[in-house]
Structure 1
Amino acid sequence: MELRHLRYFVAVAEELNFTRAAERMHIGQPPLSMQIRDLEEEIGTPLFDREKRRIALTEAGRRFLDHARGILAQSRAAVEEARRAGRGEAGELRIGFASSLAYTSTLADTLYRYRQRYPQVGLQLREMFTLDQLGALARGELDVGFVRHGGLEVPVGVGVREIGRDPLRLVVNAAHPLAGAGAVSLDRFRDDGFIAFPPDVGSGLPFVLERLCRSAGFEPRIVQTAREATTQIGLVGAGLGVAMLPGPLECVRLPRVRYLALLDEGAYFSLAVAAVERTPSPLLAGFLAVLDEVAASPE
């Protein structure tokens, strides 16, 4: 049984006239009658009562009609779903993002604009450290990632492309002698203790901190580690040390915490998009196009 048999049957059932049904289906009447008889033979029972001047559905025909219409409707829906998927308008995207991205406009603007343009696509969002995202991409567990790339090793087959840079801020306690300076050079903090991410946390920021401090002529003295940026800010407020964090986190306002701009060359943290190095699916291509639009637009 083929879909055309169902279409012919539905046309005859709705018209109750072979001539009109044949015209509707753009087929000759004899071939149409033959197709209906083939269908009845395959099913094993008549679907129409045929008289000289009129035809009518049998009980079997009436029951078969509802199912035939449903199958044809499902077929049309399947075709449309496949076409939408081919245009990148249907399916699900698995998106990873580093925690600091939640404080930037890039992630929010990209998701908002993409949802407006592709409302039928499901988005599965996962907050992950950069190293975890890169591993998940290599294993096929993510489709795309928003990462903070700064010295971490990238798995073979995964590509990382910079889409922006956020200035770094030195987070200090309000009682620090330089708290009111506004902008500072890192070499003035060589005697301070730093609060930082653990080396194994999967963030590139420890590498950036070490690189900038060495360029300033000293090794950073780590007095406390914390896996969350907001925890580090709270510990600065408690007077346990200073921290270096991406500028967007400056919106986190806690008592006794001040944010200072860094004058050192290279005092920024790259924002990048990561994906497997192959031709992207239509779904991913559409998302990356929206991301590029957002990254290229002025804030």
Structure 2
Amino acid sequence: MQVSNSTIQLRHLASFVVTAEELHFTRAAARLHVAQQTLSQQIRQLEDGLGVVLFDRNTRKVELTEAGAAFYKRCTELLATFESAYIEAHRAGSKETESIRLAFTPSYADQAAEIRAAVLAVRPGVRFSLVECWAEEALSGTLNGTYQAAMIHSEHEHAGLAAQPAGATEVGVVLGASDPLAAADVIDRELLLDRTLTLWPRELSPHMFLSMEELFDEHFARGAYYEFETFARGLFLDDDKATQMIIDNTAFTPAVRHQLRLTDPTFVWRPMAPRGEMPAHLVYRADAVSKGSGVSVVLEAAADLWGVPAD
């Protein structure tokens, strides 16, 4: 069977899909911003063109026929394909490049890079930027639209933001290379009790600090910890006192593996037993999620990577 282009047009399909979703001609007409009489006429024209009845109509309710249900499935697929084709054609014609910006805190550089690679595998034309920053900067930038999403330590409660889990990163310890403990491939956490725990200031990263309190609770119970006086991208390396204590084999600092990007053989990173982990959350603006949007693409990539359903 061949369908004449002059008989069935895209507007007929769009009107049918909305009516099938509402199963109510008055509500469907309101969504489409047309008169109910106009909508009824479009549906009749569509049924005449197809040669089938799409709706069972009676005084009490409207229902899809078997043919209508089958046609609805195909129509939604067709309209979604048309929308994607429209967006791609518009970008190609306007020389516009799709841009996605993902913020991340230093502990989650690996997860952010995984998301970027996953997105580029399916959207090679997108311009995907990774921006490292502290948690509050990542959150405020996501709220104001600077970033499509942010990879941070834990779920923050901010009006307008939603979050979904996005894997976890392993926490190990940085020791001086000459520390006797560094000879082991894995450090028993009990053996760290005679070392001072050095870490970032509580007020600058409270959620991360709390996770360290839970992980090294005995150090906190004894007061055997030191907060950096100088806190920057280099972490303990920017704080002279912490650096010297680690060199002297009297202290250690928690870190994820990629944070020790050092050519200096003075320090080593080791995993711990029991294993330490910090959960990651992908934070985004709930009102920015729409089919094909940058936020949706990032959420879908995260769901594929970590098995978390995308919202």
Instruction: Name the TM tier (shorter chain).
Output: 0.5 to 0.7
* Paired residue secondary structure (2:173): strand
Other-structure match for 1:146:
151
Find 1:130's aligned residue among 108, 132, 135. Answer: 135
- Give the whole-Å Cα distance in 2 for the aligned partners of 1:272 and 1:81: 30
Say whether residues 1:162 and 2:156 are aligned partners. no
Gaps in structure 1 of 5+ consecutive residues: 1-78
Identity %: 13
Say whether residues 1:242 and 2:255 are aligned partners. no
- Give the whole-Å Cα distance in 1 for the aligned partners of 2:105 and 2:206: 9
Contact 1:182/1:260 (<8 A) preserved: yes
What displacement does 1:228 show? Answer: 3.8
> Radius of gyration: which is bigger?
1
- Give the whole-Å Cα distance in 1 for the aligned partners of 2:100 and 2:213: 35
What displacement does 1:143 show? Answer: 1.6
Other-structure match for 1:121:
126
Say whether residues 1:96 and 2:107 are aligned partners. no
- CA root-mean-square deviation: 3.3
Other-structure match for 2:271:
261
Distance 1:244 1:84, change over 3 A: farther
Contact 2:104/2:130 (<8 A) preserved: yes
Find 2:306's aligned residue among 280, 295, 298. Answer: 295
Contact 2:141/2:147 (<8 A) preserved: yes
- Give the whole-Å Cα distance in 1 for the aligned partners of 2:227 and 2:104: 28
Find 1:177's aligned residue among 175, 180, 183. Answer: 180
Alignment TM-score, normalising by the size of structure 2: 0.56
- Give the whole-Å Cα distance in 2 for the aligned partners of 1:251 and 1:97: 17
* Paired residue secondary structure (1:155): coil
- Give the whole-Å Cα distance in 1 for the aligned partners of 2:148 and 2:135: 14
- Give the whole-Å Cα distance in 2 for the aligned partners of 1:195 and 1:127: 22
Alignment size in residue pairs? 211
**CA-to-partner distance for each residue in 1:101-146, whole Å, 9 max, x for gaps?**
33x2x32232233234324433343211123212322333322111
What displacement does 1:268 show? Answer: 0.7
Other-structure match for 2:279:
270
Alignment TM-score, normalising by the size of structure 1: 0.58
* Paired residue secondary structure (1:274): strand
**CA-to-partner distance for each residue in 1:137-181, whole Å, 9 max, x for gaps?**
2333322111122xx743133222222112211111123232223
